[in-house]
Amino acid sequence: MEQRYVYPFSAIIGQARIKKALLMNVVNPKIGGVLITGERGTAKSTMVRALGDLLQQTKVVDLPLNVTEEMVVGTIKLDKAIKEGVKELEEGLLAKVDGHILYIDEVNLLSDGITKIILDAASSGINRVEREGISFIHSSKFTLVGTMNPEEGQLSPQFLDRFGLYVTVKGEEDLQSRVEIIKRRLQYEEDPKKFYLSYEKENKLLREKIAKAKQLIESITVPDGMIDLCASIALQANCSGHRADLYLIEAAKAIAALNEQNSVSVKHIEEAAQYVIVHRMREKPENQQEQQEEQNNNENQHEEDHDQPNNPSQENQQNDNNDRDSMDELPPTEPPQDQEDNQLPQDKESVSDIGEQFKLNKIIASEKDRQIRKGSGKRSKTRSGTKQGRFVKAAISSGKVTDLAFVATIRAAAPFQKLRKSNGNVITITDADLRKKVREKRIGNTLLFVVDASGSMGAQQRMKAVKGATLSILNDAYQKRDSVGMIAFRKDTAELILDITRSVDLAQRKLRELPTGGKTPLAHGLFLGYERLRKALIKDQEILPILIVVTDGKANHGMNGTDPVKEALDIAQHIAATGVQSLVIDIENNFINLGIAKEIAKALNADYYKLDELKSDNIVSAVKAIL
């Protein structure tokens, strides 16, 4: 058989951070795998396969997207069960990958059940099989590498946290580098063997470096001060649990080993944090921030009290002067809501342009549910009610089987063949043996926008920003094949300006024409949004609705003449009680923030974002700030 020459690892241009992450995992398997995320065509798969070739004795085992639980963990041997009535394990992928690299392309499209099994094995180093009367444990130590394109959906936070390292990849932006990539690829395709051998020297040096690092890794020491630093970094980043602390230490050890150093230093931990912390950072809860600020203020006040003179008259005079100085230094604040509305006549309207559009950093998605649904799309995972979708596992059927899991049925019947009359059949199957296929697929959501178009949104070109953000979500909805609708509230009422439709173009046109002016009847907007989704659910119970509220929260007009903010909160709580998933985008950007939109989000039990949080990801710079 003719040898197949893989594109050499040393020939890959750029992508230094991904190369480093892969080498770190090989040197120290305790790191827990690496997740590579980024755009298409950036050599993610090429680098993984080149790594397997570089290590020679290590092979890359691909995990198919249509893999089933039986294929992963192992199952009963059919021939043994049928011929001898013996239950013996047929090894799955987790046994075959022991000592090798498990590569999962598009890991975000893998079913949650399969993902959990693989991550459990990766962290524990063993695979425990408990199925079909078999109980067995075997070694499963492997280097886990997952790749994904975020445009196709995100991993849930609990699964994301299980990957030790996280790296984002993008195409080369340097012109000369891009030209060199093309030249090398053309040379490789023209003569793979010649190109492969031309980089054998570099590969050999890298192979020796990995071997030395593997020998050194167990003897590397971690001083107590470095352990304190790892815990401090994880604490400042508000990482949940203790995985971040542990992976930081293991990653730092791998970096030290690759640098041929015997002890972990601050430099190693700082570099490791850029791989370990990025996908684990969380914003601190608001009450913790307030407590910290209050504590800092109290400490500062305590210090000032000690420094103040004891002369009361002098003290009072100094305070008066300070107050006057402080008032001069304060930036001008926006007028209160009522004054803001008074500046524009209630009947005066204006139409804002559409502001900056951007690629969403946060992905809108309904949580995976267990209800069987029809439909199509690319956003939310659900159980399939048809024969379409990925076969994820077999299950015992309670009724007529229309989608038979053939292999699972035979496996269920196999151990009992010696006890059953064959009646001339090769295998005898009873109704109790029948297994049905459980399938999963993605469907689109029904997104209903409730947009604040009151006079307050005209200040500081807020409506321009609102339209830009809403249009960005509409573009995302088009890609995920969602249905969309739009409600605007202004003056003294709310109106359905676009009923639920598949036409995103129509929604964009209505958004462009949306005027601004008048009061803020937030309660009516929420009420009308809920009523429209309720009717949609009555008509089609299989839809997955999401209510998207875009507002600054400054309600000043109620439905029943009562407190408008309290009315909005009461309606929000009622919507939350019905189980409708919601999202609140807070557009408030005043010098003094009232935070009403955040209260609405809490009442709705909704995801809450400030507008800037939907834009580009600033986590890397935040990590550097912590360090």
Query: Does residue 496 sit in the same domain as residue 431?
Result: no
Distance CA 368, CA 115 (A): 14
Q: Are residues 515 and 414 in the same domain?
A: no
End position of a domain, from candidates 155, 172, 196:
196
Distance CA 190, CA 5 (A): 12
- Say if residue 516 is in the same domain as residue 577: yes
Residue 155 lies in a domain: yes
CA–CA distance, 219 with 4 (Å, rounded to integer): 38
Query: Which carries the bigger pLDDT value, residue 20 or residue 82?
Result: 20
CATH number of the domain where residue 17 is located: 3.40.50.300
Please report the pLDDT score of residue 528 as a whole number. 92
CA geometry: angle 436, 439, 440, nearest 5 deg: 160
Q: Whole-prediction pTM value?
A: 0.57
Percent of the chain with pLDDT over 90: 22
57 lies in some domain: yes
Residue 285 falls inside a structural domain: no
Q: Taking a C-beta distance cutoff of 8 angstroms, is the pair 378, 560 a contact? A: no
> 262: exposed, middle or buried (C-beta count within 10 Å: 0-12, 13-18, 19+)?
exposed
Same domain, 449 and 589: yes
376 part of a folded domain:
no
Q: Higher-confidence residue: 150 or 177?
A: 177
- Residue 334: which of 457, 458, 459, 491 has the closest Cα? 459
Number of folded domains in the chain?
Answer: 3
The string of pLDDT tens digits covering residues 334-361 is 334 443 444 444 445 555 444 444 444 4
Shared-domain flag, residues 410 and 427: yes
State whether 409 and 546 are in the same domain.
Answer: no
Confidence class of residue 155 from pLDDT cuts 50, 70 and 90? Answer: confident
Does the structure show a pLDDT above 90 at 160? no
86's tokens: 């013996």
pLDDT (tens digit per residue) in 521-541: 999 999 999 999 888 888 777
The DSSP letter of residue 432 is G
What is the spatial distance between Cα 595 and Cα 475, in angstroms, rounded to a whole number? 28
- Whole-number percent of the chain with pLDDT over 70: 71
Mean pLDDT of 568-590: 87
- pLDDT over 70 (residue 153): no
* Residue pair 123/78 in contact by the 8 Å Cβ criterion: no
pLDDT exceeds 70 at position 368: no
- 418 with 521, same domain? no
- 427 and 552 together in one domain: no
In a domain, 297, yes or no: no
- Copy the structure tokens of residue 308: 């103040």
**Domain with 427 in it:** 384-440
* Listed residues 196, 218, 238: the one ending a domain: 196
Could you confirm whether 462 is annotated as catalytic?
no
Long-range contacts of 619-624 (CB under 8 A, 24+ apart): 619/278, 619/281, 620/274, 620/278, 622/237, 622/281, 623/237, 623/273, 623/274, 623/277, 623/278, 623/281, 624/274
Tell me, what's the pLDDT at 260? 92
- Would you state the structure tokens that stand for residue 423, as one six-digit string? 């009646």
The answer to whether residue 78 is domain-embedded is: yes
Instruction: Note the pLDDT of residue 572.
Output: 93
Q: What is the pLDDT of residues 207-243, one digit of tens each?
A: 999 999 999 998 999 999 999 999 999 999 888 888 8
Res 326 pLDDT > 70 = no
Rounded to whole angstroms, the Cα distance separating 470 from 616 reads 16
- pLDDT, tens digit, 9 for 90 and up, residues 455-510: 766 554 566 766 766 677 777 666 666 777 888 888 888 888 888 877 767 777 77
**Residues 195, 180: Cα–Cα separation, whole Å:** 14
Mapped onto helix, strand or coil, the DSSP state of residue 577 is helix
Choose one of 396, 413, 440: the last residue of a domain.
440
Q: Are residues 459 and 569 in the same domain?
A: yes
Q: Are 21 and 165 in contact (CB under 8 A)?
A: yes
Contact between 478 and 463 (Cβ < 8 Å): no
Task: Read off the pLDDT of each residue in 136-144 and give the average, rounded to a whole number.
Answer: 87
Under a CB-based contact definition with an 8 Å cutoff, are residues 219 and 259 in contact?
A: no
**Beta strand pairing status for 493-501 and 483-490?**
antiparallel
Confidence of residue 548 (pLDDT cuts 50, 70, 90): confident
399/465 same-domain check: no
- Region 37-53: mean pLDDT is 85
Say whether both 552 and 453 belong to one domain: yes
97 and 76 in a single domain? The answer is: yes
Considering the candidates 162, 184, 243, 280, report the single residue annotated as catalytic.
243
**491 in Cβ contact with 377 (< 8 Å):** no
DSSP code string of 179-207: HHHHHHHHHHHH-HHHHHHHTHHHHHHHH
Query: In this structure, is residue 247 part of a structural domain?
Result: no
**Apex CA 608: angle with CA 604 and CA 611, to 5°?**
135
| pLDDT of amino acid 607 | 86
**pLDDT (average), residues 18-43:** 87
Neighbours of 296 (CB within 10 A): 10
Task: Tell me the pLDDT band of 263, cut-offs 50, 70 and 90.
Answer: very high
- Give the mean pLDDT of 587-613: 81
Residue 567 has pLDDT above 70, yes or no: yes
pLDDT tens for each residue of 421-434: 776 676 777 888 88
- Residue 602 within a domain: yes
